[in-house]
């Protein structure tokens, strides 16, 4: 299985797990609020703000029982919009690369981290490794992506490091979509590390 397919499968699994955990926790909080008759609790205020934001026609009294039902359709609407954070992405990369005996040593990064800094994976073959995955959260036209690509093209901050740059949203076609980055000797992708 290639990395892009693996990433998509793992992302779906993580999102499903986060949704289930969120719903379980939120339902527990909500039950505690109802039992203690705390109508000013953050859980109830959160539901109220979603009702107001989306102009939902149901009242709070009608929606809370629906959220607490076994059928999670309502609960998913209120609590089921998690995102894959950089930590999750880093773990997906590490687990995938471990299958190919690419193992990272945990060290402290030497790069001075700032707003558009890349995420640190660890050390591999005496080089610090950072990563940037372009996934569906932020397409290639997003300002954050453009800023990071510009930074990588300058090739200043990460001169002595290895950068894993993968364009997951376009099927891992870094060479076609970002030729300037692909030809940079410091920048690689998952395929290059695994010899797929």
Q: Read off the pLDDT of residues 22-71 as tens digits, 9 standing for 90 and up.
A: 888 888 888 888 888 887 888 888 888 888 888 887 788 888 888 887 66
Instruction: Give the DSSP per-residue string, 149-183.
Output: HHHHHHT-TTTTSEEEEE-GGGTS-HHHH-HHHHT
Rounded to whole angstroms, the Cα distance separating 196 from 192 reads 7
Q: Read off the pLDDT of residues 134-177 as tens digits, 9 standing for 90 and up.
A: 888 777 778 888 888 888 888 778 888 999 998 888 887 887 88
């Amino acid at each position: 299985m290639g990395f892009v397919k693996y990433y998509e499968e793992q992302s779906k699994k993580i999102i499903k797990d986060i949704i289930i955990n969120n719903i379980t926790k939120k339902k527990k909080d909500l039950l505690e609020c109802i039992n203690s008759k705390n109508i000013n609790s953050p859980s109830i205020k959160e539901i109220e703000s979603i009702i107001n934001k989306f102009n939902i026609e149901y009242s709070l009294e009608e929606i809370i029982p629906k959220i607490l039902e076994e059928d999670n359709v309502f609960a998913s609407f209120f609590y089921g919009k998690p995102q894959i954070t950089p930590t999750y992405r880093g773990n997906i990369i590490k687990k995938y690369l471990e299958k190919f005996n690419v193992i990272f040593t945990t060290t402290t990064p030497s790069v001075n981290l700032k707003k558009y800094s890349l995420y640190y994976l660890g050390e591999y073959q005496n080089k610090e490794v950072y990563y940037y995955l372009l996934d569906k959260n932020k397409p290639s036209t997003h300002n954050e992506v453009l800023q990071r690509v510009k930074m990588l093209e300058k090739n200043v901050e990460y001169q002595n490091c290895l950068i894993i740059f993968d364009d997951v949203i376009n099927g891992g076609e870094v060479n076609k979509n970002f030729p300037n980055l692909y030809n940079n000797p410091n920048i690689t992708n998952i395929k290059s590390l695994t010899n797929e």
